[in-house]
Structure 1
Amino acid sequence: MAIAAARLRSRTAFAAAAATALALTACGGVQTSTGGGSGDGWPSGTVEMYVGASAGGSSDLISRAVSKGLSDDLGGTFPVINREGANGALAAAEVANAPADGSTIAIQNASLFTITPLAVSPDEVTDIDDFDVVYGISRDDYVLVTSPASGFTTIEDMRNAGRTVRYGTTGVGTGAQLSAALLFKSGNVPSQAVPFDGGAPALAAVLGNQVEVASIQVGEAIENIQSGKLLPLAVFGPDRISYLPDVPTAKEQGLDVEVTQYRFMTVPKGTPQDVKDKLVEGLKATFGTEDYRKFNEQNSLTPMEIPGEDALTQLNADKQRYAELIDQYQISLRDAG
């Protein structure tokens, strides 16, 4: 209960701070002409921060936490603009087409560039080359969970079940979909996908025994894991995570599955370097605050605070690796399963 209360206080505080910034902008309390400019003059006003998800989700909460930190360190206001839809592609399109003058920024999800292209037609692909990647933000791991009623305590239990395992998916072209599909294919476990519209309904389905397992982001599942309502069978990152130190990775259990969600700051292609440098300065200051460190802990986020060129290298490597894996295991991501 203490963890849940702390998490709620954190989310409420960041949402309130963002709302205050928006109210000040609307009332003329700050300069609202543009965030454009360069060097020491940036931001000269409001800088819009787009997020491709609805309010209250992980992407939104992370954006609001960073928005508050940037405002505190750099001045100006950084209102979060929600443009949900198409796994973040709608917001990405607005950022790509915005003026490259520092007035528009966005924290974007890796899956939009590494996994979604494997699930949509070529004309629907969002290209990372349309953006400048400024700096890494954090990693949001997936965990395979089950209800105690399933009788599964390990992945090996699923292999030996002698029946088709029903698992929940959280959308086409997502890391949750890919990690679950890879696990069942590489583990030779007969399975049936049951589609849900996001992590919350998939979580409810596992708790209600409508499906036996689901791949869900750790932050969404951890309270039910800690209370004993869910059992974690594997995490899908490259190594174990501090929030669930006793849960082995899928690779430790002999499965060729490594899928993570991570986020990074982007700006329209061609944004002046001195603006990007100032943005990095503000991000580093934000990362160093106690409030932001607590936010990461309360939302089970692993810092991935790396230079933009390193984040871009990781993106391109993951995109190629995922493409090779779905080809190897003959997986189609074009439907919910």
Structure 2
Amino acid sequence: MQRSTFLRAAIGALALPLCAANAFAADYPTRPIELLVPYAVGGGTDAVARAFADTAGRQLSQGMVVVNRPGAAGAIGHQEGAKAPADGYKLTMVTPEINLAYLQGIGKARPQDFTFIARLNIDPIVLIVPANSPFKTLEEVLAKAKSKPGEVALANSGKGATYHLAAVALEEKTGLAFNNIPYIGAGPEMTAILGNQVEGGFATTGEAGNYVKAGKFRLLGVMAAERLKDFPDVPTFKERGIDLQLGTWRALAVPKGTPPTVIAKLKEVAHKVSQEPKYQQFFSNQFLGMVYEDGDRLAPELDREFKFYSDIVSKLQLK
């Protein structure tokens, strides 16, 4: 009898935390939610995050606030997001740099530290120069790099980040060398290119598209299988004999261990946001590639991407 009473009491005690967690999740959210961006204000990831937070905040009773944590190719922000309490009050806009930073020994966070809610965006990388640049074509950039090795100054969004990888991969494909200049995000990088502090840089049309349309940047090449519909006159790198197809993406995630009911709520919100015409129009206006993919579908792709980047990092000795 005493043994039976003890077991019932023990089982009841174990069930209490679960019941409390479920009750907590049922009331979610009861305070504002933070959306952590691992990059500076003004870049493509920041823009996607703010568009999402603005739309999602109108659906949530407590709203959503964007917080920027730039530095170390996104590693600082990714690490903070991975280590946050698993309660749904700190989300992270995860990018491919989570794999790249880990592989290069820059960061400790990995995709396995998160549960992914949804992927919101995919874009190919492009090469841009200021509108007053003497470079009119990709070939002219390569020709100068050949005649003056290591002197062509090309900006990227941070050492070890995707845009830096694009520059290094181009060097490897062509046998050339550039002067690769890192910034703490694509926003500061765009400022540097606008100010002619560098000769050009790597980004996506999400950061550079409006500058191109406004006549402030010239777009020289796209690292994609096909030309972009918004910039049909710009050739792909492959058309120019350089088989490079690299890009970036942005996905919404929460720390591993977040209650299933909270994850379900966030997935519901993310799906509703993707249906909003104003949100969809934002992506079109900013030349960003909008997608909506449930987070559960990302795991196999992240595994493939990890292997792809692992091979590149090893081959190019980037660690």
TM-score (norm 1): 0.76
1:317 Cα deviation after fit: 1.7
The answer to whether the aligner puts 1:185 opposite 2:169 as a matched pair is no
The answer to whether the aligner puts 1:244 opposite 2:231 as a matched pair is yes
1:201 Cα deviation after fit: 5.2
1:79 match: secondary structure? strand
1:79 Cα deviation after fit: 2.2
1:277 Cα deviation after fit: 1.6
Task: Look up the match of 2:281.
Answer: 294
Residue 116 of structure 1 contacts residue 172 of structure 1 at CA under 8 Å; is this kept in 2?
Answer: no
Over residues 147-195 of structure 1, what are the superposed CA-to-partner deviations in whole Å (9 max), with x where a residue is unaligned?
Answer: 4665544333444454135032322111111111111220233433344
Change (3 A) 1:167 1:331: farther
2:203 corresponds, among 189, 206, 216, to 216
- The CA distance in 1 between the partners of 2:65 and 2:235, in whole Å, is 39
Task: Look up the match of 1:91.
Answer: 77
RMSD: 2.9
Name the stretch that deviates more: 166-175 or 141-150.
141-150
1:264 Cα deviation after fit: 0.6
List runs of 5+ in structure 1 lacking aligned partners: 1-33
The answer to whether the aligner puts 1:129 opposite 2:115 as a matched pair is no
Instruction: Give 1:130's aligned amino acid.
Output: D
Task: Look up the match of 1:45.
Answer: 31
1:82 Cα deviation after fit: 2.9
- The CA distance in 1 between the partners of 2:70 and 2:254, in whole Å, is 18
Name the stretch that deviates more: 58-67 or 150-159.
150-159
TM-score (norm 2): 0.79
Instruction: Give 1:284's aligned amino acid.
Output: H
Change (3 A) 1:227 1:100: closer
1:115 match: secondary structure? helix
1:88 match: secondary structure? helix
- The CA distance in 1 between the partners of 2:46 and 2:207, in whole Å, is 14
Change (3 A) 1:282 1:313: same
- The CA distance in 2 between the partners of 1:267 and 1:220, in whole Å, is 25
Within-5 A mapping of 1:69-218: 69-111=55-97, 113-120=98-105, 124-147=107-130, 151-161=134-144, 162-164=146-148, 166-170=152-156, 171-200=158-187, 202-203=189-190, 206=193, 211-218=198-205
- The CA distance in 1 between the partners of 2:64 and 2:216, in whole Å, is 39
Change (3 A) 1:96 1:259: same
* Larger Rg over CA atoms: 2
Change (3 A) 1:54 1:216: closer
1:78 Cα deviation after fit: 1.9
Over residues 28-57 of structure 1, what are the superposed CA-to-partner deviations in whole Å (9 max), with x where a residue is unaligned?
Answer: xxxxxx9x8335x43233323222233444
Instruction: Give 2:51's aligned amino acid.
Output: A
Percent identity, aligned pairs only, is 28
1:61 Cα deviation after fit: 2.9
- The CA distance in 2 between the partners of 1:325 and 1:187, in whole Å, is 15
Residue 119 of structure 1 contacts residue 172 of structure 1 at CA under 8 Å; is this kept in 2?
Answer: no
Residue 72 of structure 2 contacts residue 159 of structure 2 at CA under 8 Å; is this kept in 1?
Answer: no
1:228 Cα deviation after fit: 3.9
